[in-house]
Chain A
Amino acid sequence: MAFKNSIAWYYFSSPKNFYPLAGRLIPWFWGLSVILLVVGLYMSFFVAPTDYKQGESYRIIFIHVPAAWMSMLIYLVMAVYAIIGLAWKLRMAEMMASALAPTGAMFTFLALWTGAFWGKPTWGTYWVWDARLTSELILLFLYIGYISLQSAIDDPRRAARASALLAIVGVINLPVIYWSVKWWNTLHQGASVSPTMEPKMASVMVTAMLVMTFAFWMYTIAVVLMRVRRTVLERESQTSWVKALVGDRVENSSAGEKQ
């Protein structure tokens, strides 16, 4: 069994075999993402009750918290791929790490942005330099630094190695973000939902938040697979299989133009 699994692992770690697999998976993840998003948004706006203290403005939580969770999860997955890429010198892992970064940066920005617009009506300010907000901002800078470093180096293998180190060092920031509200006094409130205790919110609210999180998660996988397929074509453009694949299409399209 383990033997069989390890064969599949090595089989799909080759860009040539991963490319068609990703292509087959993408529509499924898009489908799941859209369904979950529709259900999640409906629950967020029509099923979940008004909050006793904040009224309707708390509903931004259904975007804010899933986006913040995804920003941290994506960074963690990115760092794991970076470690695998460094230790095993697997091209596919390197490409996955770099494909995750833009989506991670987007969710980090979304978390900060929705947080600011939630903070104004409730706390009375868009921004405050407390530990939670500042460490999440550092996460955005880590993503931007990672993307910049990668595009600053021309050789893709060297770019992958340098940026992987940055990604791995940045992992230190994740526990700081997660436990910042516990370790220091902050304006940001503590966690409402965590694996170690009963949720401190109505259960339908928790469900809506989880559905939104899975919607974002499926969206992330779909988008990252699309991005990684493009990177595979770019980086493997000298291989015979890409030439054969692209050559077919070029011939087809030029044939189409002639008609």
Chain B
Amino acid sequence: MKTRHKRMAFILVGLAGLATAAGLVLNALNSNLALYISPTDVLAGNIPKDKAFRLGGMVVEGSLKRQDDGLTVHFDVSDNVETVTVAFTGILPDLFKEGTGVVTQGRMVNGLFKATEVLAKHDENYMSPEVAEMLEKGEKANQAATGAMAP
């Protein structure tokens, strides 16, 4: 074995050891590396006590309601299993919409999540408005077709 091969092997073994260590550390820190907590975990009580945390999920369609003061909004955040109602006073980001992702920061007060910050989470799909419209039409046609067949 030549010296340079020995050195090469030494570097590669070292790197493999380091990767394993990093993997174990990241795995141990798993829950701390998550940016937000899902509604299911929130309702199960897996939240930091007396501390603000982030709640993330989808804004439920038709759940956005503006309160009488004109500034406060209530909306439901769901992970398709459980739902938490969020109250927020302030300006919502441009991409905030029903049916899209959201990450909010705040704390639980009597079963209501009082948010101090609302961030919109967008997905990885990009297309022109024309294509989006076409897809939506196709979806509706599909739904109508399956709906007609169901009964």
A-side interface residues toward B, CB under 8 Å?
49-54, 58, 61, 83, 86-89, 121-125, 128-131, 168-169, 171-172, 176, 183-187, 189-192, 200-202, 205
Is the Cβ of A131 less than 8 Å from the Cβ of B93? no
Closest residue to B128 on the A side, CB-wise?
Answer: A49
* Interface flag for B49 (CB, 8 Å): no
Inter-chain contact count A-B, CB under 8 Å?
A: 115
What are 12 inter-chain pairs, A to B, with CB distance below 8 A?
A: A49-B127, A50-B128, A87-B11, A123-B95, A124-B120, A168-B11, A183-B26, A184-B30, A184-B33, A189-B121, A200-B124, A202-B131
Contact B128 A184 (CB under 8 A): no
Report B92-106 CB contacts with A as 1/0, cut-off 8 Å: 111110000001000
Q: Does B4 contact A (CB under 8 A)?
A: yes
Q: Which residues of A contact B19 (CB under 8 A)?
A: 172
Q: Which of A122, A185, A202 contacts B36 (CB 8 A)?
A: A185
In angstroms, Cα B120 to Cα A124, docked, is 7
Considering the complex, give the chain B residue whose CB is closest to the CB of A123. B119
Query: Which residues in window 121-151 of B have CB below 8 A to A?
Result: 121-133
Interface residues on B, range: 35 or more
Tell me whether chain A's interface is mostly helix, strand or loop, or mixed.
loop
Residues of chain B within 8 A of A50, CB atoms compared: 128-129
What residues make up the interface of B, taking CB atoms closer than 8 Å to A?
4-5, 7-8, 11, 14-15, 18-19, 22, 26, 30, 33-36, 38, 56, 92-96, 103, 117-133
Chain A: CB-nearest residue to B123? A189
Given contacts A87-B4, A176-B26, A187-B121, 14 further A-B contacts (CB under 8 A): A49-B129, A49-B130, A52-B131, A58-B126, A83-B8, A87-B5, A89-B4, A123-B93, A123-B121, A130-B35, A176-B22, A183-B26, A186-B35, A205-B126
* Nearest 8 Cβ contacts at the A-B interface: A124-B93, A49-B128, A52-B132, A201-B126, A87-B8, A130-B35, A192-B124, A87-B7
CA distance A50 to B126 in the complex (A): 9
Residues of A within 8 A of B103 (CB): 128, 187
Chain B residues in 8 Å Cβ range of A190: 123-124
- CB pair A185–B34 under 8 Å, yes or no, is yes
CB distance from B20 to the nearest CB of A (A): 10
CB distance from A165 to the nearest CB of B (A): 9
Q: Are B126 and A184 in contact (CB under 8 A)?
A: no
Say yes or no: A192 contacts B126, CB within 8 Å: yes
By beta carbon, the residue of chain A nearest B25 is A172
Q: How far is the CB of A168 from chain B (nearest CB, A)?
A: 6
Q: Is B119's CB under 8 angstroms from A201's CB?
A: no
